[in-house]
Structure 1
Amino acid sequence: MDDGDFSQDWVQLLGHLDRQVSSGQLSPDTAALPDLMSSYQVPGVSIAVGHLSGQVWAAGYGVTGGGTSTPVTERTTFAACSISKHVAAFGALRLVQDGVLSLDTDIRDYLTSWRLLDRAGRQPAVTVRQLLAHTAGLSDTWYRGYAADRVPSLVQVLEGSGPTTTAPVRSTLLPGSRFRYSGSHYSVLQQVLVDATGMPFEDLMRTLVLDPVAMADSSFDQRFPHQRPHLVARGHHIGGTGIPGGWRTQPEMAAAGLWSTPTDLVRLELEIARAASGNSTLLDRDLATQMRTPQIPGGSYGLGTEIGDRAGCRRFGHTGLNVGYTCFSYVWPDSGTAVAAMTNSEDGWEVLTSIRAAADRRYASSLATAPLDDVSGHYVLRDDYPIDVAVTDGQLIFSAPGQQPVTLLAASGGGYLHPGLDLEIRFLPSDGQPHILELRQEGVTQTAKRS
């Protein structure tokens, strides 16, 4: 595969982006990327596509903003928002591999600069794994950033002191009991990494991740965009209003402070894919596999990684939203292809959703479709919730307790959709045994066995 293949594919794909992406099927309602950008007042978009062969194609669209006509190029840096967590997780796992950290050790063994407390002042037992997986039950926090002349230290953020605009980080849920996404988990992780190594976080990530992965246009250093202002996309609020000063400063670097390009993010995704196949010199297969394995049964988040596993769409990576910016970075492992896209607008997610849907259609793996007669039968989700699947005139009829039977709709990739609900259905083989019925709703997967 060469970059010419990517260029030809993506010129066509970006010329016919779907505005209606919920079904996964290409609808007649399409628009070219520049038209979508205009509709949603998104000044600039950057996109990169890469393959495990080493080939990468990248392009910029629109302008960097801030009242300038400077075009976005493949080297224009954007705030990577919560993709920062994904990158920081890779670095943390390299420290686990080196024996500096242990995934299931209490973070009290590492912290020297600050102590995590609950609301009663007690110190709960929280592990590195729980921080990475957002299961430590810490304060629900989204970081909006600061003007460059009034930035708290990370310890002030954790304590909620000084110029900090967020509440103190506290343990508020039973650690390990459930998933709750919050930037506070990664602020604590950042302090753990700093205390455990004695290195500034931005330098540590440069050593562990950015340099080894050849992410030359990326940095966690909050001075980075000031050092190359001609190569920075300036952020915009909803409606197109520019961010005063161009961007915010994020002392919560592990949670939201990375500056990067889609090309650099694609390089990281492909390295994680290589590691998961046992072909990386940076991270071993077991840790890479854990990175992309749900840490809560039926969940969709691993160790610093969002996991997509719906019908016909197997991918992993991360999305992001900061004040002024939106982005995503994913790899489709079965095709060996990664795509990242970044915008300098809070309105950018509508554009990004259409780009990601195009990537799903192009790179998602197909699931083998089981013969209809093989999947009909009586399934049990739990003792009080049986499900019946029947075949009538070549169609699957789905019956759930207390509901009218419905005809399932065939979906791309071999799965099925409920016609009226947010419900995806797959039939999975089970080691020569009858098929297992898999139901996926709002990112949660449940299974029912055939009786």
Structure 2
Amino acid sequence: MDLSADWVALLGHLDRNVSSGRLSPDTTTVSELMSSYRVPGVSIAVGHVDGQVWTSSYGVTGGEPSTPVTAGTAFAACSISKHVAAFGALLLVQEGVLDLDTDIAAYLTSWQLLDRAGRQSHVTVRQLLAHTAGLSDTWYRGYPADRVPSLVQVLEGSGPTTTPPIRATLLPGSRFRYSGSHYSVLQQLVADATGTPFEDLMRTLVLQPLAMADSSFDKRFPHQRPQRVARGHHGDGTGVPGGWRVQPETAAAGLWSTPTDLLRLDLEILRAASGDSRLLGRDLATEMWRPQIAGGGYGLGTEIDDRAGYRRFGHTGLNVGYTCFSYVWPDSGTAVAAMTNSEDGWELLNSIRAAADRRYATSVTAAPLDAVTGRYVLRDDYPIDIAVTDGHLTFSAAAQQPVALLADADGRYLHPGLDLEVRFVRSDDQRYVLELRQEGVTQTARSQ
């Protein structure tokens, strides 16, 4: 595998309009997309589990004076902070300091979670990590350096805080709701449980053991190395006043890092899932990229795409002035991370990620037809019948007439008249599960 040759070619022929799903017939380059979307700088790193790493950087940091982005330039890692914080929390679980399924009240001493009526709400560490605790819907926009609240003020919604108090607002464990508030509670919880400031704990548990030397959860980090930090920019290309916003909610959105450092984390998780990590055990690593809600796309601090042949896990991020992603394609043993100093960097990042999806796709053997026939249930009032007729799978949902499915690559089947992709996945009990994918959303039906 020659990462350099692969990625020089890929980055010179990127798809346009990936986010819309309607790809342009012509391709483009990183530099052209940067110009189109006014992205001042981008840094990219690609790594393999065998130790190979390739990096490339484009554009400028946006500082005064502005300097070229390099592999050592730190960016706001935005919500990838959650991914790193989750890894640290699972190390505490492994050490017996935390338990995934214990009520968080057993650990919190500085603050307590209440519902909107002022009653104590019972949620678990697992639910915080998986965004299933039902806490307030919050996106953190950061603060000017001279008006930063403490974490407890963020939790209480007091002082200079610009977000409401964190409360339990949905039935815990009943559904997924992505919100930074879950990780603010986690940040306070691990500090209370260990008696150690969160940024110090993450440095000792995660950053130092993984040699993430250009990364920190410390709010002072960018101020201590301003010439080696990319300054944030709004979508119109104007700079964020002061260069960046300060995030007291560090577990949710406050990590500073480089793509190369982020690769180190995701490749370590991949090694751990194979039982080869010196830090995290196999079972906890596997929990990170196991959907915590049936049919969902989120594990423990980890975004998951589990389409056959296109599996990947990791996280994306958006802060004021920055966008980023870091993903692993486990079937190929390869990780890719990219970071920009623009909040309008999504189209560029999606083009890079789409190139990685194509490059690291793997072939999938279709299940034998007679092994997947039978009735599947999407919900109680929605049965789906799969049969074999003249050597073809037929699909009949609820009151619909049977339709012969079209066999596609990688064990997938397509409905001839609808935006519907079907595949069969063997579950832990060796029975097949029917997965329906429509408009990018996967639903699961189980056999009766």
TM-score by length of 1: 0.92
| Cα displacement string for residues 76-124 of structure 1 (whole angstroms, at most 9, x for unaligned residues) | 1110000000000000111111111111111111111111111111111
1:104-115 equivalences under 5 Å are 104-115=101-112
Alignment CA distance shift 1:423-1:258 (3 Å): farther
Which amino acid letter does the alignment assign opposite residue 230 of structure 2?
A
Structure 2 residues without counterparts, runs of 5 or longer: none
Q: Verify the 8 A CA contact 1:326 1:346 in the aligned structure 2.
A: yes
Distance 1:216 1:239 in 2: 32
Q: What secondary structure sits across from 1:206 in the alignment?
A: helix
1:78-93 equivalences under 5 Å are 78-93=75-90
Which amino acid letter does the alignment assign opposite residue 10 of structure 1?
W
Partner of 1:283: 280
Q: Verify the 8 A CA contact 2:379 2:445 in the aligned structure 1.
A: no
Distance 1:304 1:316 in 2: 10
Alignment CA distance shift 1:415-1:77 (3 Å): same
| Cα displacement string for residues 408-440 of structure 1 (whole angstroms, at most 9, x for unaligned residues) | 565553323446755431133579988543213
Which amino acid letter does the alignment assign opposite residue 213 of structure 2?
A
Q: CA offset at residue 447 of structure 1?
A: 2.2
Partner of 2:444: 446
Partner of 2:341: 344
Distance 1:192 1:364 in 2: 39
| Cα displacement string for residues 380-431 of structure 1 (whole angstroms, at most 9, x for unaligned residues) | 5455434355778987664434557767565553323446755431133579
Pick one of 47, 52, 62 that aligns with 1:55.
Answer: 52
Partner of 1:159: 156
Alignment CA distance shift 1:342-1:55 (3 Å): same
Q: Verify the 8 A CA contact 1:139 1:170 in the aligned structure 2.
A: yes
Which amino acid letter does the alignment assign opposite residue 445 of structure 2?
T
Which amino acid letter does the alignment assign opposite residue 43 of structure 1?
P
Q: What secondary structure sits across from 2:122 in the alignment?
A: coil
Pick one of 235, 238, 242 that aligns with 1:241.
Answer: 238
Distance 1:116 1:380 in 2: 37
Which amino acid letter does the alignment assign opposite residue 321 of structure 2?
G
Distance 1:9 1:140 in 2: 41
| Cα displacement string for residues 41-87 of structure 1 (whole angstroms, at most 9, x for unaligned residues) | 11111111111111111111111124654211111111000000000
Q: Verify the 8 A CA contact 1:24 1:357 in the aligned structure 2.
A: no
Q: Verify the 8 A CA contact 1:25 1:412 in the aligned structure 2.
A: no
Alignment CA distance shift 1:10-1:186 (3 Å): same
Tell me whether 406-415 or 428-437 shows the greater mean CA deviation: 428-437
Two-structure CA RMSD over aligned residues (Å): 2.6
Alignment CA distance shift 1:341-1:421 (3 Å): farther
Distance 2:65 2:276 in 1: 44
1:32-431 equivalences under 5 Å are 32-66=29-63, 68-370=65-367, 379-382=376-379, 384-388=381-385, 398-402=395-399, 412-418=409-415, 423-428=420-425
Instruction: Give the fraction of aligned pairs with identical amino acids, expressed as a percent.
Output: 79
Q: Verify the 8 A CA contact 1:313 1:366 in the aligned structure 2.
A: no
Alignment CA distance shift 1:340-1:408 (3 Å): farther
| Cα displacement string for residues 254-296 of structure 1 (whole angstroms, at most 9, x for unaligned residues) | 0000000000000000000011111111011111111111111
Distance 2:38 2:408 in 1: 33
Distance 1:115 1:141 in 2: 18
Q: Verify the 8 A CA contact 2:374 2:385 in the aligned structure 1.
A: yes
Alignment CA distance shift 1:420-1:45 (3 Å): farther
Alignment CA distance shift 1:309-1:219 (3 Å): same
Q: Verify the 8 A CA contact 2:145 2:245 in the aligned structure 1.
A: yes
Which amino acid letter does the alignment assign opposite residue 234 of structure 1?
R
Q: Verify the 8 A CA contact 1:147 1:249 in the aligned structure 2.
A: yes
Alignment CA distance shift 1:430-1:202 (3 Å): closer
- 2:33 is aligned with 1:10: no
Q: Verify the 8 A CA contact 1:378 1:386 in the aligned structure 2.
A: yes
Distance 1:430 1:91 in 2: 29
Distance 2:172 2:79 in 1: 22
Structure 1 residues without counterparts, runs of 5 or longer: none
